[in-house]
Structure 1
Amino acid sequence: MAKKKDVQKRHFRKHKKVGKAPGTITYMGNREAIETKVTIIEYTDNLHKIHYPGDIEQIVAHKDTPTTSWVNVVGLNDESFIEKVGHHFGLNTLILEDIVNTQQRPKIDEYENYIFGTFRMLYINDKNELVGEHVALVLMQNCVLVFQELDFDVFNGVRERINAKSGRIRTKDSDYLFFALLDSIIDNYFVVLENVGHKIEALEDDLYENPTPEVAHNIQQLKKEVLKIRQWIYPVKEIVNRLIDSESTLLSKDTKFFLRDALDHSYEINESLQIYREMAMSLMEMYMSNMSNKMNEVMKVLTIMSAIFIPMTFIAGVYGMNFVHIPELQWENGYFLVWGLMILIFIGMLIFFKKKKWI
């Protein structure tokens, strides 16, 4: 019943926007709504401030400052607030629609005054479960807007680098901040894939030791997880390629040089993902093969036992017939002789099977 309800919820979310005009801001999240919070990190090579703005005006004030600003919006369920932020920053309504659409496929769009991208921020939670969080990045002249579903993210490394008094990021512009955030998302894919590799190794061990139906269920879940990861990660390679080839003045040549490193990581991730995908697909084949081998072993034992008892059954059947004149029935030691013959047949067949290496 719980699974049926989950399917119904997914079906409902999928059709929330049916019939609505393009650009309609409709939150497509499937998680409990959290309060929308905004944090702004403002910095230069000799300045570092963290702001917690209380209204839209304080947020928009960082749009055209000479410093570099990272405007981080957590919580996408407040559609009116997202619309206000987008309006004051001059974002297209189609962009705002994609920001709150948590089912949006990763993509990149270039506009005259900004570059917009949506990604899947993947990480492993405390329960060792995969979390795919929707995140949207907007690169502008002096600031980067980040919209994310949950309070947790993979950007702590970037925050620490900004907080440090020395480091490249403090001397660079907003385009380098955009790269650093994107690079953090990509680098965390390695952590997720490493977790997938551990799961595959554990399932392989289970397959060899005890291939139960529960193991088969875990394999199916892993296959679904790998396909999800592939759906979220695969487009990133093309996105980084487009950024490198972009003619937008918002991206400097220096930043494009660093984006090439992110592109190399994307290729490596996609290659590893392809390997894990094939390994996950082969696990079910291994399971079926092991189950078939176990069945063959059982059938082999039953066949050998049947072959051993067939001649004994024949002997017992002959002397169990209700004829009056069966000469051997009159023998004084006939019973013991028949038993001896059957034991000899049993031992002889065991020796024969052993020599043939059937047992």
Structure 2
Amino acid sequence: MNLQEFSALKGNYPHKRELIHSMEQAVSCKAEVYAQCLFGVLKIPDKKNLEKKPWIAAWYFMKNKLIFLDDGGQISRILEKIKDMEFGGNALEGQLLLAVFNGLIDEEVPYLQKVEEKITELENILLEETPRDFPRVLMGLRKAMMRLHTFYVQLLDMAEELQGAAGEILVKEEENAWCVFSNRVSRLHDYTENIRENLLQLHELYQAQIDIQQNEIMTMLTVVTTIFLPLSLLAGWYGMNFGNIPLLNWKYGYLTVVLLTLVIIGLELRYFRKKGLLKNKKKS
């Protein structure tokens, strides 16, 4: 049911008002454990677009009763997937709650694997060129992983809270099942940590490529400046107004200076090529 339907629900539902307030002011995933009931709020990232506002859902558990509050349809889709599952024992509500929690993270590993493939693809692109929009793409991935990382931490805290409730409202035998769920979330948390480290290394690679490009530009500017220094010296000499400057009044003086300039440029280019300063990026 949605939040309005739950608000209008008649009957004795302890701490009902607290759940409504928590859902309206949802900041993070959290669980509340009381003697008569359990309830929790879920703030679920939209993996199709992690920039969007997360889905908000909630659940309310008491003896022989389990209610899901879902305005976005996320929990409804999970319930549709698990409707044919078989549950053993008598604690149907607790098992159903655990099945929904598992449904929340069933598709996380394939999604994280796609992120890893995207990072590998970006690394290959970065070795060939430096796209202008690379910082924007990298920042988007870092934000996405940060949101998922936060979500897993909150889920892990919630699962540990519910493990502590085993034997009170939840059946004691379910404690191991919640422990398994906690381990799954913990592995996802570690997975996102590794991806975030890979993104940091990718940022360092990007910065290294930028530094290399800047060094190449500075090297080329230095080469060009060095090539034209002797020519500037020649121009300065022959720009002085002295009558006894060599070659000034000779018939072939201008041609001689042009040939001298070409020889100087040729010698300089040969020197720089020998030192490897004129090789292009692909050959280097």
Match of 1:69 in 2: none
Output the CA distance in 2 between the equivalents of 1:138 and 1:307: 77
Is 1:119 the equivalent of 2:42? Answer: yes
Distance 1:291 1:351, change over 3 A: same
Match of 1:97 in 2: 21
Check conservation: 2:62, 2:169, Cα contact below 8 A.
yes
Amino acid paired to 1:98: S
SS at match of 2:54: strand
Match of 1:149 in 2: 71
Distance 1:257 1:155, change over 3 A: farther
Match of 1:17 in 2: none
Q: How does 1:260-279 map to 2 (within 5 A)?
A: 260-279=179-198
Q: Deviations over 1:11-52 (max 9, x none)?
A: xxxxxxxxxxxxxxxxxxxxxxxxxxxxxxxxxxxxxxxxxx
Q: How does 1:171-250 map to 2 (within 5 A)?
A: 173-205=92-124, 207-250=126-169
Output the CA distance in 2 between the equivalents of 1:306 and 1:137: 72
Output the CA distance in 1 between the equivalents of 2:45 and 2:171: 28
Q: How much has 1:284 moved relative to structure 2?
A: 4.2
Amino acid paired to 1:265: R
Check conservation: 2:68, 2:75, Cα contact below 8 A.
no
Output the CA distance in 1 between the equivalents of 2:208 and 2:70: 44
Amino acid paired to 2:180: D
Q: How much has 1:177 moved relative to structure 2?
A: 0.5
Check conservation: 2:42, 2:58, Cα contact below 8 A.
yes
Amino acid paired to 2:159: V
Question: Normalized per residue, which structure has more strand?
Answer: 1
Is 1:138 the equivalent of 2:63? Answer: no
Distance 1:303 1:120, change over 3 A: same
Output the CA distance in 2 between the equivalents of 1:345 and 1:154: 80
Check conservation: 1:155, 1:184, Cα contact below 8 A.
no
2:84 to 163, 171, 190: 163
Unaligned runs of 5+ residues in structure 2 are 279-284
Check conservation: 1:183, 1:262, Cα contact below 8 A.
yes
Match of 2:213 in 1: 294
CA RMSD of aligned residues (A): 2.9
Q: How does 1:332-351 map to 2 (within 5 A)?
A: 332-351=251-270
Check conservation: 2:33, 2:161, Cα contact below 8 A.
no
Report which structure shows greater RCO (CA 8 Å, sep ≥6): 2
Check conservation: 1:86, 1:96, Cα contact below 8 A.
no
Distance 1:249 1:261, change over 3 A: same
SS at match of 1:109: strand
Check conservation: 2:51, 2:144, Cα contact below 8 A.
no
Check conservation: 1:120, 1:134, Cα contact below 8 A.
yes
Output the CA distance in 2 between the equivalents of 1:204 and 1:170: 51
Unaligned runs of 5+ residues in structure 1 are 1-72
Check conservation: 1:114, 1:140, Cα contact below 8 A.
yes
Amino acid paired to 1:83: S
Output the CA distance in 1 between the equivalents of 2:257 and 2:96: 93
Distance 1:153 1:311, change over 3 A: farther
Check conservation: 2:14, 2:37, Cα contact below 8 A.
no
Q: Give the TM-score, by structure 2 length.
A: 0.83
Output the CA distance in 2 between the equivalents of 1:169 and 1:310: 88
Match of 2:249 in 1: 330
Match of 2:282 in 1: none
Q: How much has 1:192 moved relative to structure 2?
A: 4.6
Output the CA distance in 1 between the equivalents of 2:88 and 2:266: 82
Q: How much has 1:311 moved relative to structure 2?
A: 0.8
Match of 2:30 in 1: 107
Amino acid paired to 1:342: T
Output the CA distance in 2 between the equivalents of 1:253 and 1:86: 30
Check conservation: 2:50, 2:147, Cα contact below 8 A.
no
Q: Deviations over 1:161-214 (max 9, x none)?
A: 4236xx346975111101001111133443553454355445445544443553
Output the CA distance in 2 between the equivalents of 1:88 and 1:271: 42
Aligned pair count? 278
